[in-house]
Amino acid sequence: MENKIISSLRQRYATQSFDSTKILTEQQVASIIEAVRLTPTSYGLQLMKVVVVENKEKRKALVGASYGQKQVDEASHLFIICREVKISEALINAYVQNISKTRQIELDQLIGYRDMMVRSILTMPIEQQNHWMEKQVYIALGNLLNVTALLDLDACPMEGFSVDQYIEILDLKSLNLVPIIAVPIGHRHQDDSRSKDKKVRRSISDFMIQID
């Protein structure tokens, strides 16, 4: 398994050209979503959602909103990891109710935990709250990319898009979501020259510091 993980991470790359004729199976899509859903988050709050865009017209419009990056339309599927637009007491309460139901714990017993989260999170300045949510989106991105590679699928993580235009095209305001990272996923096109590029990474000696 260890070799499978490392060889998958070596063969994955930020795919520039996808083969549109190759479509993900429902099982593959479900596995990717499950990997993102299982991502650990601070307190376990999961202040994020994954949007899967199937609509072809919208996918074409998103290419223009992504500086012409055609992967957004070409790939089999487009996943967008979004954060909540704002952290509210209602979201924290919903999480506490989920704990209560899932673990069969009386709500009364969770009030202290709830109050502690409200105190420590909602007193942060808004920019800090947003940054905090976004840091966790990137943990989810890591999981998504790793699982995609393990499934022998290809992906391109993309920050290169207009957040405002994505919000408008996908009507994300009505869902209270802000798109943070877009990830087209599918199968690489056989002519994608980037697939032959050697990986550029720091050497181990320049990357790892051992303190004895």
Ligand X SMILES: Cc1cc2nc3c(=O)[nH]c(=O)nc-3n(C[C@H](O)[C@H](O)[C@H](O)COP(=O)(O)O)c2cc1C
Q: Which stretch in 25-33, 34-42, 154-162, 169-177 sits in contact with ligand X by CB under 6 A?
A: 154-162
Reported in sequence order, the residue ranges of the chain that DSSP labels E, i.e. its strands, are 48-53, 77-84, 154-155, 177-186
Token pair for residue 114? 């709830």
**Cα separation of 59 and 71, whole Å?**
10
Phi, psi of 77 (to 5 degrees): -130, 150
CB of 11 to ligand X, least distance (A): 10
- Residue 184 as a binder of ligand X (CB under 6 A): the answer is no
Choosing from 13, 33, 41, 163, the residue that interacts with ligand X (CB under 6 A) is 13
Choosing from 5, 6, 14, 116, the residue that interacts with ligand X (CB under 6 A) is 14
Do the beta carbons of residue 86 and residue 203 sit within 8 Å?
no
In angstroms, how far is CA 90 from the centroid of its own chain? 23
**Cα separation of 124 and 72, whole Å?**
35
CB of 184 to ligand X, least distance (A): 10
Instruction: Give the Cβ contact number of residue 9 at 10 Å.
Output: 13
- Residue 158 as a binder of ligand X (CB under 6 A): the answer is yes
CB of 200 to ligand X, least distance (A): 7
Token pair for residue 155? 């992906």
- Residue 142 as a binder of ligand X (CB under 6 A): the answer is no
Choosing from 157, 179, 184, 186, the residue that interacts with ligand X (CB under 6 A) is 157
- Residue 199 as a binder of ligand X (CB under 6 A): the answer is yes
In angstroms, how far is CA 147 from the centroid of its own chain? 12
- Residue 126 as a binder of ligand X (CB under 6 A): the answer is no
The number of CA neighbours under 13 Å toward the Cβ of 29 is 15
- Residue 186 as a binder of ligand X (CB under 6 A): the answer is no
Q: Which stretch in 36-44, 82-90, 115-123, 153-161 sits in contact with ligand X by CB under 6 A?
A: 153-161
CB of 134 to ligand X, least distance (A): 11
Residues that bind ligand X (CB under 6 A): 13-14, 69, 156-160, 181, 199
